[in-house]
Amino acid sequence: MSSESISPQVKKVLPGILATSIFMQMLDSTILNTSLPAIAKDLNESPLNMQNAIISYVLTLALLMPVSGFLADKFGTRKIFIMSLVLFALGSLACSLSQNLNQLVLSRVLQGIGGSMMTPVGRLTLIKTYPKNELVQAMNFAIIPALIGPVLGPLVGGYMVDYLSWHWIFLINIPIALVGIALSLKFMPDFRSTLLNFDLKGFLIFGAASFSLSVSLELLGNTIQLTPILMGLTLGFLMLYFYYRHAKREGNPIFPLNLFQVRTFRVGIVGNLATRLGISSVPLLLPLMIQIAYGESAVTSGWIVAPMALTAMFGKSVVIGILDRFGYRNTLMTNTFVIGLLICAFALPGINTSIYWHLPIIALLGFFNSIQFTSMNSITLANLRNYHTSSGNSLISVNQQLAIGFGVAFGLIILKLFEGDVKLIQNEIHNAFRYTFLVIGSLTVLSGLVFRRLHFRDGDNLKA
């Protein structure tokens, strides 16, 4: 199938199909964040030890996303996308039936297998369907409906936990998946590729690197023994070096090294990883602080966090105008700096201050996060050749998931370090959260310097 043969009706519906998958994933993750304390209580676990339920999912995504492009090229985008929705729905059902943390983690892995193909294949289909001057607008349209997920997630999760049970937060994914499957059967284009030489060795080496680095960070939050952590980090970086050696010799590596010769791709990948380390920990830390430090209910937590997604919708509606006026370089540098300051601002309200003082900070953060993600994703893909689209798109997805996993682990590690220093926090858990926000906010401010490597004309080819 070629992009020229795509009907106008399919072009109209396709962003909505991608929105369905993103909506489901965003709803799932935001519901889980606000529901973790309730799940922990039911499973007899500490809320601060529940990161396994998040990291297991994110790690599965990062490990298996490199295969998504190859599977889509070989079997067709329609079949793989539908299969991913089925697996995600089955994983959701298994999560709802889990009786302990180990079962929940395994069920999240099954969800992750589906999720590893869902968004990358949907986005790949979008990239192959639209010309570059229409791509940003199409992606933007796909993400706007999906942003309803983060609005509903905290609220629905809060009400379900307080008035039903946490099991229902996973069952809600099943009808959404069925809608996505029905739309995909009728409207999803079935792109394939004749280049099907899958780099299994490179996939295994890169997967081993991702796994070792992720597990090392998780161990850092759960053990005081440095030996296994250092061994994991050493193995991870060694595997990355082996992959570099392998990719130089391999004729068709899973992630070609010449991808990084494209400056906008190189800066976009590094910028995504650096800035998301701080940004990704906020959606987990905020509900935990509201429920643990302030002692509020899951419903209250949901209402307070929800404005972040509402203002994100507004951000999506103005981002193209902002990029056209200021360019990608200025937008990303300034925007990252503002996001870092807003994260630091969560440390300002004291424990005796009304919790609703966090609302304006949360609302502003949602707006600037929205601009950040759209700008980073589009500039990273801006100058890739057509034959690099699949591998580049997969690497972006892997990079984002690793950054989210690292961010969640990093945020909880910092929080636990401050929690353990009773003198510094004066035996008040809220101070541990405040110091954590200051650390991750400051690092986010510094990460904005990555975007200095962009040229002021970068991204001009994305303008309509």
| Res 322: pLDDT | 86
Q: Any idea which residue has 């809060």 for tokens? A: 158
- The residue ranking higher by pLDDT, 252 or 102, is 102
Confidence bin at 398 (pLDDT 50/70/90): confident
Residues 6+ apart with CB under 8 A from 116: 60, 61, 63, 64, 65, 67, 68, 84
Confidence bin at 336 (pLDDT 50/70/90): very high
Average the pLDDT over 101-125 and give the result.
86
Q: Are 399 and 392 in contact (CB under 8 A)?
A: no
Q: What is the pLDDT of residues 156-167, one digit of tens each?
A: 777 777 777 788
| Res 196: pLDDT | 63
Other CB atoms within 10 Å distance of the CB of residue 261: 9
Q: What is the pLDDT of residues 163-182, one digit of tens each?
A: 777 888 888 889 988 988 98
| Res 445: pLDDT | 92
Asked whether residue 88 carries a pLDDT value surpassing 80, the answer given is yes
Q: In the chain, pLDDT over 70 holds for what percent of residues?
A: 86
Q: Are 311 and 370 in contact (CB under 8 A)?
A: yes
In angstroms, the CA 368 to CA 419 distance is 29
Q: In the numeric block, which tokens belong to residue 460?
A: 């001009």
- Across 17-26, 88-97, 166-175, the highest mean pLDDT is recorded for 88-97
Asked whether residue 87 carries a pLDDT value surpassing 90, the answer given is yes
| Res 356: pLDDT | 81
Cα atoms found within 13 Å of the Cα of residue 333, Cβ hemisphere only: 13
Q: Any idea which residue has 């992750």 for tokens? A: 112
Q: By CB neighbour count within 10 A (0-12 exposed, 13-18 middle, 19+ buried), where does 423 fall?
A: exposed
| Res 423: pLDDT | 73
Total-model pTM: 0.74
Instruction: Give residue 450's region: left, alpha or beta (phi > 0; psi -120 to 50).
Output: alpha
Average the pLDDT over 66-91 and give the result.
87
Q: What is the pLDDT of residues 344-361, one digit of tens each?
A: 998 888 888 888 888 889
Phi, psi of 299 (to 5 degrees): -65, -45
Q: What is the pLDDT of residues 422-453, one digit of tens each?
A: 677 777 788 888 889 999 999 999 988 888 88
- What crossing angle do the helices spanning 358-381 and 298-305 adopt, rounded to 10°? 60
In angstroms, the CA 44 to CA 49 distance is 11
| Res 337: pLDDT | 94
- The residue ranking higher by pLDDT, 254 or 132, is 254
Roughly how many angstroms between the first and final C-alpha of the chain, as a whole number? 25
CA distance to 63, 91, 169, per residue, from 95 (Å): 20, 6, 9
Confidence bin at 402 (pLDDT 50/70/90): confident
